[in-house]
Amino acid sequence: MNSSTFILASTRLLAATLLATGPATHAAEQTFDFKDPKGVNNATFKLDAVLETITGSANGVSGTLTIDREKPEATKGVITIAAPSLHVENTAMKEHMHGKDWIDSATHPEIKFTVNSLSDFKMTGDTATATVEGKFSLKGTEKTINVPAKVTLLPGMLGKRSNGKLEGDLMVIRSTFTIKRSDYGINPAAPTDKVADDIEVSLAIAGASPKK
């Protein structure tokens, strides 16, 4: 379960660092949209218990991130994953996963990550890494978590990704982090030797900022 989300904020200092190299025609504030028309953006999750390993994915990614190259501390945004898009191959397991005892996707259809702050920023080439603090919301519970993030800003590369249909910039976000299902009321009574309490989440998404 994926929250993905979570990651966005590292772009604050990334944006500031790239001020000198970013396209001169851009305004200071720039918004990246993570609703991917190609349907490639996704998150994956894994629960690695003693008796069984459960892996799955989600592709219902949306949300926006707005950065200000002159005021990176003003970065804002939310990444959302549609809970009903969570998928595992086993049909019965998938039905249970979406049920009320587990993620209850009918009642709580969105998983969200909202940016708070970042620390431990490092810049290598056009890629930034940081620890991002944000509010992660799942199954009606919201908790503040810290996740590592890697963000790459790719000026002028939207045309290449969209096969020439759009022109503009890309932002690519990658993150892997762990949450506990018991923290979010995801069937906390389930035996941990069969269903691990730790959920490893990996996110790989691209946001588009088309030329106006």
- Residue 95's CATH number: 2.40.128.110
- 26-35, 66-75, 129-138, 169-178: which range is least confident on average? 66-75
Would you say 33 and 191 are in contact if contact means Cβ atoms under 8 Å apart?
A: no
Distant-in-sequence, close-in-space partners of 169: CB < 8 Å, separation ≥ 6: 23, 26, 30, 32, 153, 154, 155, 156, 157, 158, 208, 209
Rounded to the nearest integer, the mean pLDDT of the chain is: 85
Is 2 inside any structural domain?
A: no
Domain of 106 in residue numbering reads as 8-210
- Quote the pLDDT of residue 76: 81
pLDDT tens digits, one per residue of 146-183: 999 998 889 999 999 998 889 999 999 999 999 999 99
- Quote the pLDDT of residue 6: 34
- 33-42, 115-124, 146-155: which range is least confident on average? 115-124
Number of domains in the chain: 1
Phi–psi pair at 161, nearest 5 degrees: -70, -30
User: pTM for this structure?
Assistant: 0.81
Is 1 inside any structural domain?
A: no
